[in-house]
Structure 1
Amino acid sequence: MIFFFGTRTGKKVTKQLVGVNCPHCHQTGSLTAISQTNFIHLFWIPIIPIGTSQFAECGHCKRGFYKEEFSQEMKKALQDYKSAAS
């Protein structure tokens, strides 16, 4: 019997960070945060989540930010969004 298993990313969850300034160009309201969860899959069916990657991009200057580079303002906006969605 052959088993097809491996890893792959799940669906992208995109959130516009309204009222947050870009740390690079200082443009307000141009940041978009993106979150993707990686899964172990069996026969292309996601089974176990193994991690989540988060990053943000400014629509004005096109600068990308990894989760480690998020400003306190960006972290607060994401946390407020998560608590409102729950």
Structure 2
Amino acid sequence: MILFFGSRPGKKETKTLRNVTCPHCQQMDTLTVTCQPNYAHLFWIPIFTINNVRYAECSHCKRVYYKEEFTPEMEQALSS
């Protein structure tokens, strides 16, 4: 019997953070958060989530912030 087991990325979700300033360039409403889950799959059917990749990018200065670098202001805007 052959088993096909592996991992693959899921669908990307993006959200613009309103009323949040970029810590680098101090511009308001320029941050966009992207979340993409990675799934373990068996026979191309997703079984469980391995991890979630989450980062924010400023459209003005192009600075990227990974989830470890999120400010409390960014976290609060993302949860609401």
- Tell me which residue corresponds to 2:77: 77
Does residue 1:41 correspond to 2:63, yes or no?
A: no
| Distance in 1 separating the partners of 2:36 and 2:68 | 15
- Tell me which residue corresponds to 2:17: 17
Deviation digits for residues 19-74 of structure 1 (CA, Å, limit 9, x no counterpart):
11001111100100011111101122211112212110001111000001001110
What is the CA-CA distance between 1:11 and the residue it aligns to? Answer: 0.6
- Tell me which residue corresponds to 1:28: 28
Q: Which runs of 4+ in 1 moved over 3 A?
A: none
TM-score by length of 1: 0.87
Over the residues paired in the alignment, what is the CA RMSD in angstroms? 0.9
| Distance in 2 separating the partners of 1:77 and 1:5 | 37
Does residue 1:65 correspond to 2:65, yes or no?
A: yes
| Distance in 2 separating the partners of 1:56 and 1:29 | 12
The structure with the greater share of residues assigned to helix is 1
Q: What fraction of aligned residue pairs are identical, expressed as a percent?
A: 57
| Distance in 2 separating the partners of 1:47 and 1:11 | 15
* Counterpart amino acid of residue 54 in structure 1: R
* Counterpart amino acid of residue 57 in structure 1: E
